[in-house]
Each structure stands twice: as structure tokens, then as C-alpha cells.
């Protein structure tokens, strides 16, 4: 059966035919591909075509798809039982591994199943710790789909150009203040006016849900300083950047070191299965139940199969893996840029560690307003020309590109060969 037939069939039983909006190809048009398998740098669709995958499951697949060590760990864990609703050694091993890598910032780790849950819990924790309600977020940053976080969010909301979501009570929306990113003036002004009400600033460590936009040097450190001066906390959302932007996430490579109070993880930490986490100092994290008054729980939290995938992924993700990610990101970013330049397409390369994306504008956007001003109409024809040539890109210009250590020379060559025609399509859009 073809992709189109599957899409029709899916639309009859699943809203929009998808279980997460960006998958519907809404902003690029055409028929989403229905995948049946993936291995290394390739994904294969129901028609038997394979594509070089530059989505990588939206981040987790740093080792490439179906990495033998990860699959083996998952199979072994599954054979021992899919879940017990009780503690397992693997949860402790995963927490130890993360803490060893990210100490001293992370002293305790709580596992949940999705990034959305991680940020929800982080916010409740910050509110519980400070006794305050107000949350500050930045326009274009995406922190999952919980009520308080959809105002001017990135990712699917940017793709669909919607400012928020129906169904969010006004009283909850009023607890979030949205500021322009990279503007310390805006942060300082808000804190001067309402600092005593603010529980936390939540911030993508390096935003990658409006395309990649790097924080200006010292921005994260300044947020911590300002928040702390007013008794508020900083939640650094590394769901996307953690263990991907670098071995130590964005925090490990930000040119000005900073120590957020609470950090959220997802994607890579679960190796492709549903797993995410909240980490921070013992003093803050031990406010969580059962030790403290901030409640949080989950039937599937720390699921042993997901933990096995996360452990195997992080154990395999050594320096050689991150070196390869960097090399692949370097070569693809410069090749795409060269292809656009050859066609006279104004663009900037947006880069945060091994993450990158392109903005169709002549100067690098530093916030959501600027991101939205780019020539976004150039992306759909570029995207489809690449797809036709066997390269699967994120189906929105407002998303980062993801590479894996399995992207070998063959995969890269296919991307390079597809670029000239795709850049031409972008130029004539």
C-alpha cells in the first residue's frame, strides 16, 4: 500500500492522520511518509523507498537507528518483563551515569516518560520551592504541550503559525509571561516590576524549536543571576539539547558557564523510547514526593525497557560518537550553505553544537520575531526536492536538523548530490 493510501486510512481514524502535528506535513504540503523500519542513517517507507534521515526521531537517535547494542539491551530487558511498577537497578544506574556526567549541577534525577512531563514537573517543583506562581518563558521556545507553556511556543505551534492553544484556561495562561528571547532588557524590566511574584524562568538552553537560535554570550548566566537576585529559579530545558548538542548538552559548551537550578532531559536520555528526566540539586529535588510536598508520579516512570535503551545509548555515546556528530554536522551545514549561496539564496547557518538549521534571511535571527520574518516559503520546495532525492528533512523550517554518528560517507554523499537541485527549487520559490 502506498504512503497516500495509508495517509487516507490514517485520517479516517486518527485526527489529521497523525499522533503529533508536525508529522502531517502541514507547512510543506504533500503526503507524509509512513515508515516501516530504520537502520543506521536510513529510514524506509511503506513503498520500500529509503531516505537518509535528518530527523533522527527528533533527536534521540544519536547512534543511528537500530544500533545493535541498544537493540540488544532492549530485547534483553523486554524478555525480563515489560514493567513492574516498582524500582529496578537500571533506574539507579541511569541516574548515576547522568550525575557522573553532569555533576555538580545534577545531584538527583527523577525519571518520567516524556519531555512534557519533565517540564511540567520542573515548573511545579519551582513553584513549590519558591511559593510563587508566575512563570517566565521566551517566545519561540517549546517546552511540551502542557497548559501553561503553549503561549507563543515554537515547534508545531510555529509551524502552524498559531499563538497558543484553545482549551487553556485564561487563569492558567495568565500565570505565564512571554518575553522576547535574547533580550536581557525585557527580563530585567519584568523582574523590576514583578520579581517577587516570579517562581522561575524556563528557557531552552539553546533554542531549537524555532530553528536553531543560539543564546547571546552570557545570556543563560545572566538569567540565573537575575532570577537568583529576586529569589526565583531557572529551569534549563535540555530535552532537545541534552546529550546531543554535546556530550554534556548545551550547558557543557555555553561560552559563559552557568548553573541552572533545575534541568530537564528527554529524547537522547531514552535512546528512542519514552523516557525523560528532571535533575537538579539535592535540596531542590528532594522537595519531590515521597520526601517533600511537591507531588509527582507515573505508572510507567523509569520503565525498565526504556531505561535499558537510555543506558545503552548513553554508554555507547563516547567521544568518538560526538566527534562524528560534529564532523557530520560541519560537513552538512557547510554543504547546504554552499548550495544556497551558489543559487543566490539569502540564508544563515544557525548552529548550536551538533545541532543546526538554516534561516532564509540575510542576517542571523536572534529571536522569534526575526525568525518569523524569514522567507519561509523557500522551504517547502527545498524540502520536497530533497525528499524526492531520498533525503528526509524535518517537515518545517522551524525545526532543527538532526544527525547521527551512523551518517557515513554514503549517506552524506546522497545528501550532497541532492542539494544543487533542491537549492535551485528554493531559489525559484
Active site amino acids = 142, 237, 267
Tell whether residue 396 is a contact of ligand PMP (CB under 6 A).
no
Furthest C-alpha separation in the chain: 61
Query: Which helix (H) or strand (E) segment is 348 a member of?
Result: strand 348-352
Query: Which helix (H) or strand (E) segment is 73 a member of?
Result: helix 68-79
| Sign, CA torsion 263/351/254/100 | positive
Part of the chain binding ligand PMP (CB under 6 A), chosen from 3-11, 138-146, 293-301, 383-391: 138-146
Query: Which helix (H) or strand (E) segment is 110 a member of?
Result: strand 108-112
**Residue 165: is it exposed, middle or buried by C-beta count within 10 angstroms (0-12/13-18/19+)?**
middle
Tell whether residue 240 is a contact of ligand PMP (CB under 6 A).
yes
In angstroms, give the least distance from the CB of 240 to ligand PMP: 4
CB 427 within 8 A of CB 59: no
Binding mask 46-65 for ligand PMP (x = CB under 6 A): ------------x-------
Does residue 394 sit in helix, strand or coil? Answer: coil
Tell whether residue 112 is a contact of ligand PMP (CB under 6 A).
no
CB 202 within 8 A of CB 235: yes
Site for ligand PMP in 149-208 (CB under 6 A): 155, 204
Q: Is the peptide bond before 247 cis (omega within 30 degrees of 0)?
A: no
**259 is written with which cell numbers?**
548553573
**15 is written with which cell numbers?**
485526527
Closest CA to 161 of 398, 408, 427: 398
Cβ-proximal residues to 228 (8 Å cutoff; 6+ apart), any chain: 234
One of 27, 105, 116, 313 touching ligand PMP (CB under 6 A): 116
Tell whether residue 236 is a contact of ligand PMP (CB under 6 A).
no
216/316 Cα distance (integer angstroms): 32
Part of the chain binding ligand PMP (CB under 6 A), chosen from 30-38, 110-118, 181-189, 317-325: 110-118
Binding mask 250-279 for ligand PMP (x = CB under 6 A): ----------------x---------x---
Q: Which is nearer to ligand PMP, 121 or 337 (CB)?
A: 121
One of 91, 237, 254, 261 touching ligand PMP (CB under 6 A): 237
Part of the chain binding ligand PMP (CB under 6 A), chosen from 11-19, 232-240, 285-293, 327-335: 232-240
Part of the chain binding ligand PMP (CB under 6 A), chosen from 4-12, 140-148, 215-223, 284-292: 140-148
One of 143, 324, 351, 407 touching ligand PMP (CB under 6 A): 143
Number of residue whose CB is nearest ligand PMP? 115
Q: Which is nearer to ligand PMP, 24 or 412 (CB)?
A: 24
Tell whether residue 115 is a contact of ligand PMP (CB under 6 A).
yes
Cβ-proximal residues to 86 (8 Å cutoff; 6+ apart), any chain: none
- Count of residues that interact with ligand PMP, criterion CB under 6 A: 16
Look up cell 503553549; give the residue: 150
Binding site for ligand PMP (CB under 6 A): 58, 114-116, 119, 142-144, 155, 204, 209, 237, 239-240, 266, 276
Amino acid at each position: 500500500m502506498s504512503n497516500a493510501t495509508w495517509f487516507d486510512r490514517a485520517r479516517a481514524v486518527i485526527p489529521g492522520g497523525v499522533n503529533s502535528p508536525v508529522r502531517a506535513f502541514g507547512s510543506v504540503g504533500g503526503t507524509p511518509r509512513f515508515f516501516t523500519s530504520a537502520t543506521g542513517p536510513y529510514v524506509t517507507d511503506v513503498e520500500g523507498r529509503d531516505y537518509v534521515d535528518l530527523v533522527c526521531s527528533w533527536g534521540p537517535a544519536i547512534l543511528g537507528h537500530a544500533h545493535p547494542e541498544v537493540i540488544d539491551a532492549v530485547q534483553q530487558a523486554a524478555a525480563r518483563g515489560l514493567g513492574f511498577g516498582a524500582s529496578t537497578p537500571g533506574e539507579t544506574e541511569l541516574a548515576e551515569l547522568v550525575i557522573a556526567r553532569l555533576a555538580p549541577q545534577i545531584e538527583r534525577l527523577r525519571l518520567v516518560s516524556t519531555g512534557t512531563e519533565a517540564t511540567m514537573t520542573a515548573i511545579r517543583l519551582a513553584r513549590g520551592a519558591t511559593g510563587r506562581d508566575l512563570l517566565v518563558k521566551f517566545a519561540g521556545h517549546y517546552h511540551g504541550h502542557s497548559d501553561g507553556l503553549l503561549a507563543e511556543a515554537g515547534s508545531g505551534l510555529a509551524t502552524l503559525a498559531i499563538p497558543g492553544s484553545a482549551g487553556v484556561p485564561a487563569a492558567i495562561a495568565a500565570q505565564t509571561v512571554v518575553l522576547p528571547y535574547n533580550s536581557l532588557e525585557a527580563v530585567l524590566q519584568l523582574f523590576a516590576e514583578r520579581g517577587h511574584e516570579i517562581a522561575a524562568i524556563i528557557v531552552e538552553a539553546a533554542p531549537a524549536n524555532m530553528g536553531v537560535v543560539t543564546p547571546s554570550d552570557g545570556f543563560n548566566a545572566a538569567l540565573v543571576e537575575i532570577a537568583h537576585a529576586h529569589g526565583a529559579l531557572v529551569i534549563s530545558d535540555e530535552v532537545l539539547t541534552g546529550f546531543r548538542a554535546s556530550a554534556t548538552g548545551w550547558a557543557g559548551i555555553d561560552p559563559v558557564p552557568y548553573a541552572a537550578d533545575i534541568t530537564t532531559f528527554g529524547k537522547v536520555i531514552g535512546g528512542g523510547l519514552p523516557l525523560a528526566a528532571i535533575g537538579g540539586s539535592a535540596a531542590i529535588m528532594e522537595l519531590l514526593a515521597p520526601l517533600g510536598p511537591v507531588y509527582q508520579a507515573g505508572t510507567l516512570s523509569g520503565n525498565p525497557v526504556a531505561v535499558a535503551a537510555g543506558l545503552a545509548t548513553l554508554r555507547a555515546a563516547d567521544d568518538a560518537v560526538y566527534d562524528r556528530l560534529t564532523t557530520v554536522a560541519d560537513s552538512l551545514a557547510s554543504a547546504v550553505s554552499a548550495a544556497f549561496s551558489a543559487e543566490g539564496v539569502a540564508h544563515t547557518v544557525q548552529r548550536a553544537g551538533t545541532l543546526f538549521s538554516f534561516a532564509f534571511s540575510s542576517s542571523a535571527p536572534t529571536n522569534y520575531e526575526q525568525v518569523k520574518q524569514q522567507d519561509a516559503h523557500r522551504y517547502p520546495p527545498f524540502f520536497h526536492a530533497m525528499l524526492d532525492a531520498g533525503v528526509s528533512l524535518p517537515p518545517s523550517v522551524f525545526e532543527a536538523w538532526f544527525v547521527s554518528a551512523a551518517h557515513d560517507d554514503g549517506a552524506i554523499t546522497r545528501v550532497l548530490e541532492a542539494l544543487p537541485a533542491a537549492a535551485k527549487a528554493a531559489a525559484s520559490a
